[in-house]
Structure 1
Amino acid sequence: MQWFGIAAYAANVNGTTDNPGERLGLVVDDKVYDAHAAVAAIDANKAAALPADLGTLLAQWEGSSDAIKSLEAAGDAIRSRKIELPAQTGALGVPYAPTRIFATASNYYEHAAEMGTKLAARSESTPYIFIKADSSITATRTAVVMPSNTMKLDWEVELAVIIGKGGRHISAANAYEYIAGYTVINDVSARDLTRRSDYPFSHDWFRGKSFDTFAPIGPWFVPRDCLGDPMKLRMRLTVNGESMQDALTEGMIFNIAEQIEYLSSILTLRPGDMIATGTPTGVGMGKGIFLKPGDVMVASVDGIGSIENHIVAAKA
């Protein structure tokens, strides 16, 4: 399958108010085109059957092959200049709004070491997964709001896996059949708020990682079959242009399939569920430096794209 992405973009651009609101975007060579217009240029009937947004497409992912083929064909036609459409310049929204975000902690040995985390032997362990609030989602080129009660705001670039087929007790051998595609997530964390001293429980993942805007995602969704081997992708993150993280996904302790197997042993995975698969070494906590208002983060995963977010202080 030729590479293409699916985005959400603001339609009221260039000073117009025609068709305001977000529309489904088809991404070809890092440019966004109106997906319905692109498919309509080939077959109007197929365009009419195309869902209005990615969330709807994911909800019916098992029956989405016709829609995906139509988008792929439209992407190929744009790439080969068989059809000519204007690239859209409206702001990108989040590709879709996941209702559940599962995040895998300490899933790279070097990251665990930089955080001072002592891990059990892999053979004696399972993935450590927590839930990040869906209200923490924000789009690329939006602000991450720094809470007034943190002094240790940190970054974490991660590959996000998006489930397309629901299921329970999924084996690692069959796990990829349940994946719809991928995007980029930055698991922003308030390190000083993930620790508690007022309870006998030392960590508070919810408080430290679920503030509004603490989960930038995007810039778009890439279908599974467009990406190749997701365990051989390069992840990078810069702050103000300085490289902080640069590693390959193959360094995961528990790979993508094992994470899906573990999660589905506990609960039924649903279409649209997102799994943030862990971050490599290079976070601010390990370096002793933290984010401050005005800083700009760029989180990238090769084969997908980059998201950029700046830090602002919370209003008093």
Structure 2
Amino acid sequence: MWHAIASYEHTLGKGGTRLALVAEDQKLYDTAQLIEAGALGERGPRLAQDLGGALQNWETNAALLEQMARALPPLLASGRVAPLAAQSYRLCVPYTPGRIFGAASNFYEHAREMGTELAPRTESTPFCFMKAETSVTATETDVVMPANTEKLDWEVELGVIVGKTCRNVSVEQAYEVIAGYTVFNDVTARDLNRRSDYPFKHDWFRGKSHDTFGPMGPWVVPRSCIEAPQSLRLKLSVNGEMMQNDTADAMIFNIAEQIAYLSSMLTLKPGDLLATGTPAGVGMGRDTYLKPGDEMIASIEKIGSIRNRVVAA
């Protein structure tokens, strides 16, 4: 029954953001109601009230969520709990990352379509950039297209969430610091990535960090629920037409190598998000860009899908 943890709010806007356990059938169960029904025992330990808080002590909170998941079938059978009605809630951003680290040109075919000349893998390391955490937005929300861009693009990526404070993590130990996974869409204004008014020709922060340029969700799937994340299939469609379709196996630098590289430079913290790179099929490679009214659906196998519509600023 255990699949993911989601953040949601009631459609009437009452009660603020709440946590829900997501079952394998993608039905949501409010964690507060599960606790009230006895999922953690009569005087069970206290679960963090939001996912950002839960990530700060993820090992403990993940164990509590697993305990709740095991308790769910008998509670359902007894009628003590019920799933949320689909019309009664809207999904929120699972949590706001402390920092977002992006991996650039991390799929060979994507690098080729962008005209990027790569050094041999044995002579290089991951190329990382940062994206503002205020760019994140939930599924079923609008991506706002700035008035000064004509080349708005999509990039489906596997989001990897850090669950432990760590430094100098080895490749072999990297998975031990992962809390879970989510879908991330690294929306990018390609023409804003370039500058002519400074001697510095690239400005990825300007091209990638606008508000709403980071659709994320629909929830977080814990590490324990996905045995082989490197084999997950990533897809993105625009207005029903498939644009991107590849697996994470096609990454140049894999998940563990990215964690090892970043942690060799700085301390990773719970809630940090790694956007691990996008496969081929982006708009720039096709000379086709997003316009107001377009609908993007970004999906990752065993996680879920997020849907976002483009609107003019």
Quickly name the TM-score band, shorter chain normalised. Answer: over 0.9
Match of 2:47 among 47, 50, 61: 50
Measured against aligned partners, the alpha-carbon deviations of 1:216-275 in whole angstroms (never above 9, x if no partner) come to 000000000001110000100000111000000000000000000000000000001000
Match of 1:23 among 18, 26, 29: 18
Paired amino acid for 1:98: P
Indicate yes or no: 2:274 matched with 1:275: yes
Does structure 1 retain, via aligned residues, the 8 Å contact 2:33–2:81? Answer: no
Tell me the CA shift for residue 149 of structure 1.
0.4
Give distance in 2, aligned partners of 1:241 and 1:130: 30
1:33 is matched with: 29
Tell me the CA shift for residue 120 of structure 1.
0.5
1:86 is matched with: 83
Paired amino acid for 1:237: L
1:286 is matched with: 285
Unaligned runs of 5+ in 1: none
Indicate yes or no: 2:67 matched with 1:70: yes
Give distance in 2, aligned partners of 1:311 and 1:230: 29
Give distance in 2, aligned partners of 1:116 and 1:260: 26
Give distance in 2, aligned partners of 1:85 and 1:251: 41
Give the length in aligned residue pairs. 309
Secondary structure of 2:115 counterpart: coil
Paired amino acid for 2:6: A
TM-score (norm 1): 0.93
Give distance in 1, aligned partners of 2:103 and 2:165: 19
Measured against aligned partners, the alpha-carbon deviations of 1:3-25 in whole angstroms (never above 9, x if no partner) come to 421111113x4x5x6x5211001
Percent sequence identity over aligned pairs: 56
Structure 1 stretch 82-91 or stretch 187-196: which is displaced more? 82-91
Tell me the CA shift for residue 130 of structure 1.
0.4
Tell me the CA shift for residue 38 of structure 1.
2.1
Tell me the CA shift for residue 73 of structure 1.
1.6
Does structure 2 retain, via aligned residues, the 8 Å contact 1:239–1:298? Answer: yes
Measured against aligned partners, the alpha-carbon deviations of 1:121-180 in whole angstroms (never above 9, x if no partner) come to 000000000000011010000000000000000000000000001110000000000000
Paired amino acid for 1:97: T
Unaligned runs of 5+ in 2: none
Change (3 A) 1:76 1:230: farther
Secondary structure of 1:170 counterpart: coil
Tell me the CA shift for residue 77 of structure 1.
4.4
Paired amino acid for 2:202: H
Give distance in 1, aligned partners of 2:6 and 2:151: 32
TM-score (norm 2): 0.94
Structure 1 stretch 230-239 or stretch 192-201: which is displaced more? 192-201
Give distance in 1, aligned partners of 2:267 and 2:260: 11
Measured against aligned partners, the alpha-carbon deviations of 1:153-208 in whole angstroms (never above 9, x if no partner) come to 00000000000011100000000000000000000000001011222222111000
- For residues 144-293 of structure 1, what are the structure 2 equivalents within 5 Å? 144-293=143-292
Give distance in 2, aligned partners of 1:308 and 1:81: 35
